[in-house]
């Protein structure tokens, strides 16, 4: 019999939420098969079977599980399963008829306790998972108006303090409702946590990318890989890590940082099946062609639903891609556990005048950086962006000078 334990998916969380089981209790599974979905602070990740066998669940869905908790066991065969299967209370949840009807996240529980909301009121919401935002909704309704993300109790720009239409009533907008996907719920939790905990600043620089695009086209032909600005920018971010270690760090408490030892670059991947931040590990050791192959693999996994925990863990810095046509500027969030997030928007055409006054077309991007102002200041943020700008505007490294011939004795 083999225990199926919750692995450590990232350095930020000590526990994860068991969202749902993908296989039934008593089902035969194979080594590496996806058996459950867990929610971390960054994404929804797969829990895979550590071997072949018959699965016996030991934890219920919507249970918060600590790293190392046994959530299932694998029996070697059907006979062993039928002989040994016994119901076991899930981790962190009481056994018997007093078990709560739903899971309440840590943030929701803390806010409810702070504002004197009993847990029974949260259970009565009828949700499988009660989050901090749901408690905020309750508080907003108690104040006599609907809650909107980022809204405070202060009067609006007009100073009249008026509630939006329909506020303070239970009347719903006409039309059916549908639940958010598990992936989108994880995105919502991460964005909410970022806005709640990270004091973010933002800066952007204009970067000419004609040389980078031409360099990428040459590499694509010679390396037989689809290389563009994202691949070159991942390489650039990795190349400057040693010069800007605090851009690859994690805030520890309120007065210290832990610098990451490698350039694991998280890149946003969205092919229509949800937003993922996939990690290009050890990017400083990879060529642009290697990075292109990794990103293509991630896009295919996004399309097919094939991400595993190792694909989404341990990023030290993030690159948010908003490369659709006509995207002028993008301001990303800073993911919890990071200190900055580089934003690559779309390529724009502009006309400039040469030294002799002749008009010339060039292509540019407004490269942005969102950063945690507790760790990074504007001077460092601008220096980091300028280093990336220099890399993109002069992408081909200069040829090393040939060694001078040694003098004959």
Give me the domains of the chain, ranges plus CATH numbers: 2-98 (2.40.50.100), 198-393 (3.30.559.10)
> Which of 9-13, 115-119, 205-209, 315-319 comes out lowest in average pLDDT?
9-13
pLDDT surpasses 90 at 67: no
Q: Does residue 268 carry a pLDDT above 70?
A: yes
Strands 249-252 and 256-259: antiparallel
> Which pLDDT score is estimated for 167?
45
More confident site: 216 or 154: 216
Tokens 């992408």 belong to: 395
Lowest mean pLDDT among 7-21, 146-160, 369-383: 146-160
- Rounded CA-CA distance 385/159 in Å is 39
Count of residues making up the chain:
409
DSSP 151-199: --SS--TTSS-PPPTTTTS-PPPSS---PPPHHHHHHHHHHHHHHHH--
Across 368-397, average pLDDT: 94
pLDDT score of 80 more than 90? no
Q: Pick the residue with more confidence: 9 or 152? A: 9
* Residue 33 to residue 43: CA distance in whole angstroms: 19
Structure tokens at 386: 């300028």
Distance, in Å, from the CA atom of 258 to the CA atom of 105, rounded to the nearest integer, reads 27
Per-residue pLDDT band at 298 (split at 50, 70, 90): very high
With a cut of 80, say whether residue 108 has pLDDT above it: no
Tell me the pLDDT band of 89, cut-offs 50, 70 and 90.
very low
| Residue of 269 and 113 predicted with greater confidence | 269
What is the average per-residue pLDDT within 179-184?
81
Q: Is the pLDDT of residue 35 over 80?
A: yes
Structure confidence at residue 42 (pLDDT): 59
Considering the chain, what percentage of its residues have pLDDT values greater than 90? 45
The angle formed by the CA atoms of residues 353, 355 and 358, to the nearest 5 degrees, is 45
Mean pLDDT value of segment 92-120: 65
Whole-number pLDDT of residue 102: 67
- Lowest-confidence pick of 107-111, 222-226, 300-304, 398-402: 398-402
The pLDDT value given to residue 14: 75
Average pLDDT of the segment spanning 171-184: 73
Q: Which of 227, 234, 198 is nearest to 317 (CA)?
A: 234
For the segment 129-173, what is each residue's pLDDT rounded down to a tens digit? 777 778 877 777 765 443 344 444 343 343 344 444 444 444 445
Name the pLDDT band for 356 (thresholds 50, 70, 90).
confident
pLDDT at position 96 over 60: no
Count CA atoms within 13 Å of residue 74 on its CB side. Answer: 19
Identify the pLDDT of residue 373. Answer: 96
Percent of the chain with pLDDT over 70: 80
pLDDT confidence of 109, banded at 50, 70, 90?
confident
User: Band of the pLDDT at 83, cuts 50, 70, 90?
Assistant: confident
Show the beta-strand stretches assigned E in 273-379.
Answer: 275-280, 317-321, 340-344, 348-353, 359-372
Structure tokens at 222: 């010679």
Pair of tokens at residue 139: 């508080």
**Which position has the higher pLDDT, 307 or 114?**
307
**pLDDT score recorded for residue 291:** 96
* pLDDT above 70 (res 205): yes
């Amino acid at each position: 019999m083999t225990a199926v334990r919750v692995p450590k998916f990232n350095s930020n969380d000590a526990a994860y939420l068991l969202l749902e089981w993908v296989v039934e209790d008593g089902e035969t599974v194979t080594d590496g098969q996806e058996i459950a979905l867990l929610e971390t602070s960054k994404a929804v990740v797969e829990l895979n079977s550590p071997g072949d066998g018959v699965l016996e669940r030991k934890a219920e869905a919507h249970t918060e599980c600590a790293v190392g908790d046994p959530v299932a066991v694998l029996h070697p065969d059907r006979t062993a399963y039928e002989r040994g299967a016994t119901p076991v209370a899930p981790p962190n949840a009481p056994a018997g008829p007093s078990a709560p009807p739903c899971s309440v996240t840590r943030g929701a529980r803390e806010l409810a306790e702070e504002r004197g909301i009993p847990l029974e009121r949260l259970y009565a919401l009828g949700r499988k998972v009660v989050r901090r935002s749901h408690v905020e909704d309750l508080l907003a309704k108690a104040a006599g108006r609907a809650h909107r993300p980022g809204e405070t109790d202060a009067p609006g720009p007009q100073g009249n303090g008026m509630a939006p239409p329909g506020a303070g009533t239970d009347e719903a907008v006409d039309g059916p409702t549908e639940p958010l996907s598990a992936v989108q719920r994880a995105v919502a939790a991460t964005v909410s946590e970022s806005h709640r905990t990270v004091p973010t600043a933002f800066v952007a620089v204009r970067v000419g990318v004609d040389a980078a695009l031409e360099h990428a086209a040459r590499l694509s032909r010679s390396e037989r890989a689809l290389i563009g600005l994202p691949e070159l920018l991942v390489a650039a971010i990795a190349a400057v890590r040693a010069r800007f270690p605090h851009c690859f760090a994690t805030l520890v408490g309120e007065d210290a940082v832990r610098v990451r030892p490698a350039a694991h670059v998280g890149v946003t991947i969205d092919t229509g099946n949800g937003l993922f931040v996939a990690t290009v590990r050890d990017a400083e050791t990879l060529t642009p062609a290697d990075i292109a192959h990794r990103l293509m693999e991630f896009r295919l996994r996004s399309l097919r639903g094939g991400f595993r925990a190792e694909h989404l863990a341990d990023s030290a810095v993030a690159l948010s891609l908003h490369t659709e046509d006509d995207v002028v500027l993008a301001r990303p969030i800073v993911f919890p556990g990071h200190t900055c997030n580089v934003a690559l928007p779309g390529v724009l055409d502009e006309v400039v005048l040469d030294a002799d006054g002749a008009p010339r077309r060039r292509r540019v991007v407004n490269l942005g950086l969102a950063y945690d102002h507790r760790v990074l200041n504007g001077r460092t943020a601008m220096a980091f962006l300028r280093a990336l700008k220099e890399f993109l505007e002069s992408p081909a490294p200069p040829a090393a000078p040939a060694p001078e011939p040694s003098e004959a004795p």
